Amino acid sequence: MKNLIQLFIALCFVLSFSTSRANQITIQDQAGRDVTIKQPVERVVTTFIPATIFALCAGLGDKLVGASTKDTTSSIYEALIPKNKPPVLVGNRTIGVNLETIASLHPDLVILYGQKDGVRLANRLTKLGFPAIVIVPETFAGMTKSLAIIGEATGQQKHTDKVIAAMTEIVLKVQQRVVHKEKPSVYYATSNLLRTVSGDMLQNEMITFAGGRNVSEKTKGFFISISREQFSAWNPDIILCSDRLPTTEIARINSPEFMNITARKENNIFRVPQETYWDFPSPLAMAGLLWMSDKIHPEASADDTLQQEIDHYYDTIFGEGFSKKFPNVVGNTP
């Protein structure tokens, strides 16, 4: 009888240990860190706008308990976050993230960005008992990897696999349309006319996929400031403007100092639809890619199908009817 009791206790210990192991997974994030995450993940915190958009695209809107203070400015956030139960704002990369606030939310997972002190913060949070992963979504491959990691970490793989498939379909479709086209020179204006993206950033790859040549492709780093002389020397055929570029800066293009810029003379100046966040490193950038390809090579796009393609993409990620319910989110505004 004593032996039977000991055997029963041993079996209970083995089953308990197995269950404990089954209720956690270990993944490697994009900083090469091995992170163990208890399952299921019910409470998620994000610390910058793209991470929040990734979480929403991964179907985690109902699990988002903390978010960046800048998130409230995005239309996708307003569309998907319940107004009666918004996430607690935890700061952002610019002003700093409040670790005490994050800890008070008892997150099962925190999603951080690899730039600045993201890795250091992730290590600190993990040591405090709050698993944190770092994502680096500055390329298409990086974005799909980010989604795959988030999907695995949160048990949302079925949904994130669907989003990755939709993203890949758009990239292949756009590349096929422009594969034999000449590559016009493209300048991307960000927060002001003389501030642009480096060759290391997602926008550079988007321009390339869309059939253009980024005039700043050989630069390195993050956002870069340039001189008026450099802008004139590049003399882009097309100017694409972030939706965060003030209208006063767009008007500056028409000043006498830039009268010889080809894009100005040929009226090839286009601004990303406001509040869409199509030029941020997130799955929404695929809608931006469709938009870019239409502006860089309008002759290669099927007539009047751009908005239909964008609507279909959003409906795939967020559910049928989303695009009709939130036309401002999908860029379908007058």
Is residue 153 a contact partner of residue 133, using CB atoms and an 8 Å limit? yes
| pLDDT of amino acid 18 | 35
The beta strands (E) that lie in the chain are given as: 24-28, 34-38, 44-46, 64-67, 88-89, 91-92, 96-97, 109-113, 132-135, 185-189, 195-196, 213-214, 224-225, 238-241, 269-271
pTM of the predicted model as reported, rounded to 2 decimal places? 0.90
- Residue 249 tokens read as 């800066």
Q: Which residue carries 């939706």 as its tokens?
A: 243
CA 265 to chain CA mean position, Å:
33
Rounded to 5 degrees, what are φ and ψ at 69?
-65, -20
How far is 27 from 127, CA to CA, in rounded Å?
Answer: 16
Q: Which amino acid is at 277?
A: Y
Give residue-wise pLDDT tens across range 183-224.
999 999 999 999 999 999 999 999 999 999 999 999 999 899
Name all domains of the chain by residue range, CATH numbers in brackets.
Answer: 28-156 (3.40.50.1980), 179-301 (3.40.50.1980)
**Residues of the chain falling short of pLDDT 70:** 1-22, 116, 302-303, 334
The residue type of 62 is D
